[in-house]
Amino acid sequence: MGFLQEKFLLAWLMISAMSVSTSSRNDHYTPPDLKHLTDLFPPVNFDQGFKELYGGSHIKLMENGSFVNLTLDKSSGSGFVSQNYYNYGFFNAAIKLPSGYSSGVVVAFYLSNAEMFPHNHDEIDIELLGHENKKEWIFQTNIYINGSTHIGREEKFRLWFDPTQQFHQYSIIWNNHHTVFLVDNVPIREAIHGESISSSSPSKPMSLYCTIWDGSEWATNGGKNPVNYKYAPFVASFREMQMEGCMWDNVKQGSFCTKNGQGLSSLDPVEGEEFAKLSQEQRIGMDGFRKRFMIYSYCKDPRRNKILPPECKP
Dump pLDDT digits (tens) for 72-118: 999 999 999 999 999 889 999 999 999 999 999 999 999 999 998 88
Spatial neighbors of 128 by CB under 8 A, at least 6 apart, are 95, 97, 106, 107, 108, 137, 138, 139, 140, 163
78 touches 212 (CB < 8 A): yes
Q: In angstroms, rounded to a whole number, what is the distance separating the alpha carbons of residues 113 and 146?
A: 10
Q: Tell me if 101 is assigned to some domain.
A: yes
Could you list the pLDDT tens digit for every one of the 314 residues in the chain?
Answer: 444 444 333 343 333 333 333 333 455 899 999 999 999 999 999 999 999 999 999 999 999 999 999 999 999 999 999 999 998 899 999 999 999 999 999 999 999 999 988 888 999 999 999 998 878 999 999 998 887 776 778 999 999 999 999 999 999 999 888 999 999 999 999 998 875 554 557 888 999 999 999 999 999 999 999 999 999 999 999 999 999 888 887 766 666 665 555 555 455 556 667 788 899 999 999 999 999 999 999 999 988 877 877 788 76
The predicted structure's pLDDT at residue 31: 94
List residues bridging with 296 in a β-sheet: 156
pLDDT at 127: 98
User: Peptide bond before 31: cis, by omega within 30 degrees of 0?
Assistant: no
Position 1 in a domain: no
**Exposure pattern of 260-276 as b/e (b: 16+ CB <10 Å)?**
eeeeeeeebbbbeeebe
Domain-embedded: residue 232: yes
Kindly report the number of other CB atoms within 10 A of residue 171's CB atom.
23
Residue 16 lies in a domain: no
Report yes or no on 162 lying in a domain.
yes
Q: Is 308 part of a structural domain of the chain? A: yes
**How many angstroms separate the CA atoms of 258 and 89, rounded?**
10
Is residue 5 a part of any domain in this protein? no
Residue 7: CB atoms within 10 Å: 10
Model confidence pLDDT, tens digit, residues 41-69: 999 999 999 999 999 999 999 999 999 99
| Nearest alpha carbon to residue 67 among 89, 43, 86, 88 | 43
Q: How far apart are CA 258 and CA 281, in angstroms?
A: 28
Q: Active-site residue among 52, 115, 127, 311?
A: 127
Q: For residue 45, tell me if it sits in a domain.
A: yes
Pairing of strands 50-54, 78-82: antiparallel
Selecting among 6, 52, 63, 123, the annotated active-site residue is 123
The span from the CA of 95 to the CA of 67, in Å, is 10
Q: Distance between CA atoms of 295 and 17, rounded to whole angstroms?
A: 19
127 catalytic? Reply is yes
Structural domain total, the chain: 1
Host domain of residue 95: 37-312
Surface-to-core class of residue 115, CB atoms within 10 Å of its CB (0-12 exposed, 13-18 middle, 19+ buried): exposed
CATH number at residue 190: 2.60.120.200
